[in-house]
Amino acid sequence: MMSAANGLPRALSGKILVTRRLPPNVTARLQRDFNPTLNPEDVLRTPAEWLQLANGHDAILCCATEWMDAQFMANLPGSVRMIATFSVGYEHIDVAGATARNIIVTHTPEVLTDATADMTMLCLLAAARRAREGDALVRTGEWSVWTTEMLLGVHVTGKRLGIYGMGRIGRAVARRARGFGMEIHYHNRTRLAPELELGAIYHESAERLLAVSQFLSLNAPAAAQNDKFLNEAAIGRLPDGAVVVNTARGSLVDDDALIAALTRGKLAAAGLDVFAGEPRLDERYRTLANVFTMPHLGSATHETRDAMGFCCLDNLSAFFAGKPCPNALNDQASHDQDSR
């Protein structure tokens, strides 16, 4: 075990600032293995407040709710040597700024792949089969008679699903969608090896993918090149009556363009788990009947949230033991499309 500057073994000197309340099993291990400053009331704080609190801490365990931009990194106290984010997405962290200050940044890939892919299928099916309207009909008591034409939706089996961003989550979506009889198409910057592609049809350009996507699933990270990827031009390329699903990040969507297309019937429906500026979102989404919404629940299962927490702790343990962190981002900060 490496020694810290104060002569104590590093594993015992790990003073961790924890920005959000974490699952009980994760908190218990944190308290067993480290010296954490917890946030039991789950208070949301400003970056300036986190900077002040970070004084004297060796590491920060944060969530995607804490934005750590270049200015934040520049002002971080010198004691902070590591940031572990409880998320696979890391657009909220200026990794380059952290690297410049020799701060390790880790995230939580793999452990949330299945839960997020499940959520993608939930959004896809709910949007296609009008779950929001059906549920409302039952709950309001307005369902008085069964009819042959009541709330007809979009058939899923046999349709083409375009996956934008065929990383871990995209591939897990493909596996599930195959079970629903869908034909899988995808776009990535680089084509997958055949054993990962599993028969999915590769499109060298996003434009070509869009043109065939009767269903479109966004599974790419919130990188600059993906900002408002689904804009008016992109939607224009989709087949009429397409269904759009987003479980990645709200920044991939131009809300004005999506809402206009859903309103005028260019798109049949959308299933959205994420929104630009969430938890605030474009008010029009609340009233559009053909939009199925969820409050960013992609990874929200007991098992997955525990696994995300343990992943953070594994990385912290490695760091304080002087070993390489298994999920360090600093050497792979290029935001590849397949990094989710």
Query: Hey, what are 286's tokens?
Result: 């609340």
- Cis link prior to 279 (omega < 30° from 0)? yes
Taking CB under 6 A as the criterion, the residue among 88, 253, 312, 329 binding ligand DGY is 88
Which is closer to ligand DGY, CB of 108 or CB of 290? 108
What are the percentages of helix, strand and coil residues in the chain, rounded to 5?
Answer: 35, 15, 45
Q: Which residues contact 282 (CB under 8 A, 6 or more apart)?
A: 255, 259, 275, 276
Q: Which residues contact 108 (CB under 8 A, 6 or more apart)?
A: 85, 86, 87, 88, 307, 308, 311, 312, 327
Coil vs helix vs strand at 237 = helix
Paired strand residues for 271:
245, 292
Q: Does 107 qualify as catalytic in the annotation?
A: no
Query: Which CA distances in Å does 164 have to 132, 174, 226, 251?
Result: 25, 11, 10, 14
Region near ligand DGY per CB under 6 A, out of 83-91, 97-105, 185-193, 208-216: 83-91
Q: Does 249 qualify as catalytic in the annotation?
A: yes
Which is closer to ligand DGY, CB of 44 or CB of 289? 44
Region near ligand DGY per CB under 6 A, out of 49-57, 85-93, 210-218, 325-333: 85-93
Could you give the dihedral angle defined by the CA atoms of residues 187, 192, 196 and 198, in that order, rounded to the nearest 10 degrees? Answer: 60
Region near ligand DGY per CB under 6 A, out of 87-95, 172-180, 285-293, 320-328: 87-95
Nearest to 84 by CA among 138, 20, 24: 20
Which is closer to ligand DGY, CB of 58 or CB of 66? 66
Paired strand residues for 100:
none
Taking CB under 6 A as the criterion, the residue among 16, 18, 22, 64 binding ligand DGY is 64
Does residue 184 touch ligand DGY according to CB under 6 A?
A: no
Query: Hey, what are 230's tokens?
Result: 């689904």
Q: Which of 171, 249, 335, 340 is catalytic?
A: 249
Which is closer to ligand DGY, CB of 219 or CB of 290? 219
CB 107 within 8 A of CB 329: yes
Sole residue written with tokens 């002087």 = 322
Taking CB under 6 A as the criterion, the residue among 10, 73, 84, 89 binding ligand DGY is 89
Taking CB under 6 A as the criterion, the residue among 298, 316, 328, 337 binding ligand DGY is 298
Which is closer to ligand DGY, CB of 89 or CB of 309? 89
- φ/ψ of residue 99, rounded to 5: -60, -45
Which is closer to ligand DGY, CB of 284 or CB of 296? 296
Alpha carbon distance 315, 332 (integer Å):
16
Taking CB under 6 A as the criterion, the residue among 120, 188, 226, 299 binding ligand DGY is 299
Q: Which of 160, 176, 278, 284 is catalytic?
A: 278
Q: Does 296 qualify as catalytic in the annotation?
A: yes
Binding characters for ligand DGY, 91-120, by CB under 6 A (x = yes): ---------------------x--------
Taking CB under 6 A as the criterion, the residue among 36, 57, 81, 87 binding ligand DGY is 87
Q: How far is the CB of 195 from ligand DGY (least distance, A)?
A: 26
What amino acid positions are annotated as catalytic residues? 249, 278, 296
Tell me which residues touch ligand DGY (CB under 6 A).
64, 87-89, 112, 298-299
